[in-house]
Chain A
Amino acid sequence: MSAVLLSRIQFALAAGFHFIFPPTTFGLTLIILFLETLYLKRKEEIYLKTSNFLIKILGIVFVLGTATGIVLEFAFGNNWSNYSRVVGDIFGAPLAAEGIFAFFLESVFLGVLVFGRKRVSRRVFWLSAFLVFFGAHLSGLWIIIANSWMQTPMGFKIEGGRAILTNFFEAAINKSTVIRYIHTVVAGWITGSLLVAGISAYYLLKDRFREYAKLLLKVSLIIFIITSIVQLFTGHSHSVQVTHTQPEKMAAYEALWETQKGAPLSLFAIPDENKEKNYLFIGIPKLLSFLVSGDTDYEVKGLKEFPKDERPPVIIPFYSYHIMIFLGTYFILISLIGILLFFKKKIYDTRWYLKVLLFSIPLPYLANEFGWIAAEVGRQPWAVYRVLRTADAASPSVPAGQILFSLIMFFIIYLFLFIIFIYLMKRFVKKGIEEVSREEGY
């Protein structure tokens, strides 16, 4: 295997594993902030206990996020040194800004949340919860800025083979930043809220901590219902943006080979990249054109429009994109059932529905991963869209053997961490809200 391919696999592994944690942090910090606000106002034990319980979970999630995040920040120099040389003038700034504005804030005040309940006043504790929430989301913004610049680069010129910044705000808030950020944050809220809803459902099923579980289920499920429906619209806007700014990516998502007016929305297909056609295509006529423009006769560009060496692979983006949308649809479905059960006041006693919530915990994670796979593989063959090819971005000085070694090591370490993470989560949940929330901070 070539060094570039190994580096790509390693980056995919490192980013994919890392991205288990930030979305969880988004969701958890939102719910914790909500509970802390209630605690500040009503001063009732129940908010304190449930919040403490979630803070303990957040502590573990956050540590894993930090440990795996540092790998990514270093990866651009380690494995992608040419990338760093060519676009470092633009790409480094958001990473540094993330540290200065957001990550310091998040980590320093997380220390207060986990260890400081007895050491600071209620107001300061609430403020800490707010700053961790704010820091986490701001941190995400800077990372999304960096990624969006790779997707839709703006605000720069090419000089002596390097991209030079000409306008910071154009580069930062480029054509895909805002919608990508909203889509990612909402995905995080879906992920975190379903995690909490699933855990509460588990307690209700086991008939433990009923009062706490009811509160947590109510809060998290309301967030889940709202966000999963909102995500339909942010996902739609994001797709419209992709169609206009990276048309070959949308063509790959939809396995659309021919440029056509009244393009169909694909539901299923087996794309054949060599023969440039699909087998078993099932689609809804004209719907793609309508969705991306509001006009059923709108012309959507097909893959054949682009030179072969500038096309993304089709199979991976196509399936990832469709699985993500399928999962998103499923979330809306369980949300609608949830609304119904809320109105019937049966939400806490409908056992099959509680089981559905519990066993759906992993699904938002899958949706997140597939969404990113679609976005990143769909950008290929470019590292920075139409500026720098991935093949030209790698480190020339690192031998393939060393990358293979590090890849294997990362795989083993991450597998081990994942197992321990799941084990600890289960242990927290089994131990229960009372005991975990009483434990002294760690």
Chain B
Amino acid sequence: METVDILRVVWFLLIGFLFIGYSILDGFDLGIGSLFPFLSKTDEERKRLFKSVGPFWDGNEVWLLTGGGALFAAFPHAYATVFSGFYLAFMFLLFSLIARAVSIDFWHYDEKRKKIWERAFVIGSFLPSLLFGVALGNCIIGIPLNENFDFTGNFFILLRPYPLVMGILGLFMIMLHGASYAVLKTDGEMRERGYRIAKKLWILFMVAFILSFIVTVIWAPGFLGKIPAWIFALLVIVFWILLGISINRKKNGLCFLFSSLLFISLWGIVGSIHFPYLVRASNNPEYNLTIYNASSSPLTLKVMLLIAIIGMPFVIGYTIYVYKVFKGKV
């Protein structure tokens, strides 16, 4: 393998790392938002939920921003194809992210419109949780592209069964993760409610996981030959069982740990069936976007790698520190 190819593989992994970081961290506050009406009944409880994500959500969202920026820098063609091809979906994603970002602060200060901001927080969390999976599902199963790598389909092509099931799987994963975070950060009645919700989601997750296996058999049987994907699938099942045990025994720390590991294993499956592709072309294999034909120049990849090596250890270090500062129940 040439140096440039090593760099490309490294960047595939690094972007995966950023997406995983985003999933684990922003995943829990998206989950809290999506489950908001179920987790909280009174104003006091709603306040506690907001407080549980208050100091963190902004930093968490930077993982998405950085992931997007890294994709742009390392694989500009993939960034261009996906972001312009899924234009409407991205617009709804952006409207949602704006709504939820402001809703957390505005709820607290703008007493007259509390209801509006609650809804903005719920919808603004629910929609992205669903859309991320749909978008990823489309990249995996492929979309129609032309020789310039531009999307040639219409909006409804994005809503085929395979991507939709991926969307639902992602949504349940995020919700389950949110419930695991809720039991970690709350106590008393709220935590009991959190456990009950987590139990239901634990089952729903497996339903969606089996469903995703079925749609793969029907629409993408080629993926079944990928051995690493099977290993990660096995891990999904192991962590799912461990998560179930932790929920039953009410070990809130372990719940969050196993829910995070479950999320990472899901990403492992995605990475295994998708590598080295970034976006598959459903109409012509020549238009497939891979890490080889979509990447930046070796110099850019090298400079970026240096930036990541210098910067990311600090990011991880102080993020852990600040989480420790705000440790404990709200």
Query: What does the 1/0 interface line of B60-75 toward A look like (CB < 8 Å)?
Result: 0110111011111110
Q: B91 near A: Cβ within 8 Å? A: yes
Chain A residues within 8 Å of B72, by CB:
73, 76-77, 84, 88, 91-92, 95-96
Q: Is the CB of A99 within 8 A of B98?
A: no
Stretch at the interface among A109-117, A195-203, A241-249: A109-117
- Residues in B whose Cβ lies below 8 Å from that of A59: 105
Q: Which chain A residue shows the least CB distance to B65? A: A99
- What distance in Å separates the Cβ of A433 from its nearest Cβ neighbour in chain B? 16
Chain B contacts for A166, CB-based, 8 A: 299
Given A88-B73, A112-B55, A168-B303, also A413-B101 (CB < 8 A): no
Measured CB to CB, the nearest residue on chain A to B325 is A119
- Find the B residue at minimum CB distance from A88: B76
Please name all residues of chain B whose beta carbon is closer than 8 Å to the beta carbon of A109 when the two chains form the complex: 318, 322
**Is A85 in the interface zone, CB < 8 Å from B?**
yes
Assembled-state Cα–Cα distance A21/B300 (Å): 31
Interface residues of B in 85-106 (CB under 8 A from A): 85, 87-88, 90-91, 94-95, 97-99, 101-102, 104-106
A-side contacts of B151, CB under 8 Å = 397
Given A78-B87, A85-B76, A96 contacting B300 (CB threshold 8 A): no
A356 within 8 A of B: no
Does B192 belong to the interface (CB within 8 Å)? Answer: no
The interface on chain B, measured as residues whose beta carbon lies within 8 A of the other chain's beta carbons, has a size of: 66
Please state if B297 and A165 are interface contacts (CB–CB under 8 Å): yes
Q: How far, in whole Å, are A318 and B276 apart by their CA atoms in the complex?
A: 50
- In angstroms, how far is the closest chain A Cβ from the Cβ of B113? 8
Query: In this assembly, does A66 line the interface, its C-beta being within 8 Å of a C-beta of chain B?
Result: yes
Query: Does the CB pair B98–A417 fall under 8 Å?
Result: yes
Are A409 and B91 CB-contacts (below 8 A) given A114-B55, A397-B85?
Answer: yes
A149 / chain B contacts, CB cutoff of 8 Å: none
Contact A103 B62 (CB under 8 A): yes
Main secondary structure of the interface of B (DSSP, over half): helix
* A228 at interface, CB cutoff 8 A: no
- In this complex, the interface size class of chain A, counting residues with CB under 8 Å from chain B, is 35 or more
Question: Complex formed: what's the CA distance from A420 to B109 in Å?
Answer: 10
Residue of A82, A92, A103, A409 touching B95 (CB-CB under 8 A): A409
Please encode chain A, from 152 to 176, with 1 for each CB lying within 8 Å of some chain B CB and 0 for all others. Answer: 0000000000001110100000000
Contacts of B152 in A (CB 8 A): 397
- Interface contacts beyond A84-B83, A97-B311, A107-B58: sample of 10 additional A-B pairs, CB < 8 Å, sorted by A: A63-B104, A77-B83, A81-B150, A88-B79, A100-B307, A104-B311, A111-B322, A164-B299, A428-B109, A442-B109
Residues of A in contact with B (beta carbons under 8 Å apart): 59-60, 62-64, 66-71, 73-74, 76-79, 81-82, 84-85, 88-93, 95-101, 103-105, 107-112, 114-116, 119-120, 164-166, 168, 395-398, 402-403, 405-406, 409, 413, 417, 420, 423-424, 427-428, 441-442
Which residues does B use to contact A, with CB under 8 Å? 50, 54-56, 58-59, 61-62, 64-66, 68-74, 76-77, 79-85, 87-88, 90-91, 94-95, 97-99, 101-102, 104-106, 108-110, 148-152, 296-297, 299-300, 303-304, 307-308, 311-312, 314-315, 318-319, 322, 325-326
